[in-house]
Amino acid sequence: MSRLGKQPVAILDKVEVEVRDGLVRVKGPKGVLEQRFSPSIKVEVDRDHKLVRLEALDGERETKARHGLYRALVQNMVVGVAQGYRKDLMLEGVGYRVTQQGQKLVLNVGFCHTIEYILPPSVKATMDGNTKFALESHDKRLLGQIAAEIRSIRPPEPYKLKGIRFTDEVVRKKVGKAVTK
């Protein structure tokens, strides 16, 4: 059995959790999230103690593997609809800049053309100057996917450290060719 899966998920204030026909629906001030679950995992909502408990119904290897995963998904959904998630990114390089036009990010990252990235409606961008911006959403999975796609447009290179990276990301700088005489 998963040790993580055995721990109950605390339901935060102003968050409602519904379980119906293998579907968990979490509703809060930031939005609504839904997740389908395997029939081998039983999900119960304890409204008195404000907890969600997950239980593996059989001892199969695949069920054991998914037990902790589903608990983590429920935890991320509860925190997401209550508080939301945020990813900070920055552009490093001469002439690199980002601008926002509604739900569209326009990136100038050293190519001969600008890159336009359209954000989904549930992801919001906030600018902090020309080279720093933040993405916010209530869906942790979607936010991580969007941030990774934007970073992959121009990942940081290890020699001059130019590119798009997360603000808390550490990129190790490599030394160039050594000049010998």
Q: Do the first three CATH levels of 3-82 and 85-166 match, i.e. the same topology?
A: yes
Task: Look up residue 135 and give its two tokens.
Answer: 């993405």
For the beta carbon of residue 19, count every other beta carbon within 10 angstroms: 15
List the chain domain ranges.
Answer: 3-82, 85-166
Domain spanning 85-166 has what CATH number?
Answer: 3.90.930.12
Q: CA angle at residue 127 from 75 to 104, to 5 degrees?
A: 85
**CATH assignment of 3-82, among 3.30.1330.30, 3.90.930.12, 3.20.20.210, 3.40.50.1000:** 3.90.930.12
CB hemisphere CA count around 94 (13 angstroms): 1
User: What's the count of helices (H) and strands (E) in the chain, helices before strands?
Assistant: 3, 13
Give residue-wise pLDDT tens across range 39-58.
999 999 998 999 999 999 98
Give residue-wise pLDDT tens across range 155-166.
999 999 999 999
